[in-house]
Amino acid sequence: MAKVLVVGASGTVGSELVRLLGAKGHEVRRATSRRPSGPAQVHLDVVTRQGLSQAFDGVDRAYLLCPPGHTNQDELLAPLVDEARARGLDKLVLMSAMGANADENAPLRKAELHLENSGLAWNVIRPNWFMQNFNTFWIQGILEQGRIFLPV
């Protein structure tokens, strides 16, 4: 089985992916911006690049997701793609966002293009909706006004 690096492993998507990969017998290295809490977890700060080299030590594949709250996704993700290429990873998967390919100059699209041009085997996934958004981001408007407020 492969040794897989999951960046964002303590988040909603990452933690479920870690569980599913583990259930399939893969060895998983969990990278998170939080302080490590176990032997298979490493600290990785994508903004400062602290822990970048250690996160990729000995892995065969990696899963990256766009760190929330940043507009310069391409600048944050490119070093991870470059590290994966330097290490000769078998595969890299990037979770992007719906519509990222609508503008070639959008930061997420630039990150996708950097991956696509890396020479690595890759997949880009663009989920378009998460059910937990209803009980996190939009719950206040739903409870108080009976509406979902979106900037559209």
60-80 pLDDT, tens digit each: 999 998 777 889 999 999 999
Please tell me the predicted confidence (pLDDT) of residue 4: 98
Torsion (CA) 149, 135, 109, 92 in degrees, nearest 10: 180
Q: Assess contact for 9 and 60: CB atoms under 8 A.
A: no
Q: Whole-angstrom Cα distance, residue 90 to residue 56?
A: 12
Residue 85 has a pLDDT of 98
Cα separation values, 47 from 29, 66, 99, Å? 19, 12, 24
Report the percentage of the chain scoring pLDDT > 70.
99
Query: What pLDDT score does 94 carry?
Result: 97
The first and second tokens of residue 89, run together, are 């990873």
What is the model's pLDDT at position 36? 83
Provide the b/e sequence for 26-64 (b: ≥16 CB within 10 Å).
bebbbbbbeeeeeeebbebebeeeebbeebbeebbbbbb
Helix (H) or strand (E) holding 74: helix 73-87
Gap between the Cα atoms of 115 and 67, Å rounded: 16
Query: CA distances (Å), 116 to each of 2, 38, 59, 89, 90, in order?
Result: 22, 33, 20, 14, 14
pTM of the model: 0.86
Say which amino acid occupies 58: G
Q: Which residues of the chain have a pLDDT value below 70?
A: 152
